[in-house]
Structure 1
Amino acid sequence: MSTTSEHAGQAALSICEALLLAMNDLGLLPEHEIVGVLRDAAATHENAVGTELEMERHRAVAKMINSIIAGGNYVRRP
């Protein structure tokens, strides 16, 4: 992956994290809905098909999303 693509991916992840935090802070989405969104995103990548390289990348993305779920980094704790 090129440096430009890596930066774009990091920026997208940061933006999505900020949006999830803001939605939770404002009471727009409760924690269980945020977890649902993340699980759906992970499942999309876990079920993706393609070349072995593409599937490897999808598995890596799913693993990252599942790590975010496990770490609870998607909501602020009081």
Structure 2
Amino acid sequence: MSTKSDHAGQAALSICEALLLAMNDHGLLPEHEIVGVLRDAAASHQNAVGTEFEIAQHRSVADLINAIIAGGNSFRRS
């Protein structure tokens, strides 16, 4: 069952991914910089602290970002 926050998270991911792709397409950020942004975001979540539940959520987010880096979703490779 999806929740309102699930939809908000999916929308945010889609918007951010589209922005990163547009920045690359228009020569504003090279691919290696975009990958760096994604790696920094993943590292933030991998190093998060909190309750076991919060840490598990952060690790899931990091795993998703790392999957995008590895070639998932619509992230294009030059």
Same fold (TM over 0.5): yes
Corresponding position of 1:39: 39
Distance 1:75 1:30 in 2: 12
**TM-score, with length taken from structure 1:** 0.91
Identity %: 78
Corresponding position of 1:74: 75
The one-letter code matched in structure 2 to 1:18 is A
Taking only aligned residues, the RMSD between alpha carbons, in angstroms, comes to: 1.7
Higher RCO (CA 8 Å, separation ≥ 6 residues): 1
Question: What are the superposed Cα offsets for residues 4-35 of structure 1, whole Å, 9 maximum, x if unpaired?
Answer: 00000000000001000000000000000000
- Structure 1, gaps ≥5 residues long: none
**TM-score, with length taken from structure 2:** 0.91
- Structure 2, gaps ≥5 residues long: none
Which runs of at least 4 in structure 1 moved beyond 2 Å after TM superposition?
Answer: 72-77
Question: More deviation in 31-40 or 68-77?
Answer: 68-77
Distance 1:48 1:2 in 2: 25
> Number of matched residues?
77
Distance 1:62 1:21 in 2: 19
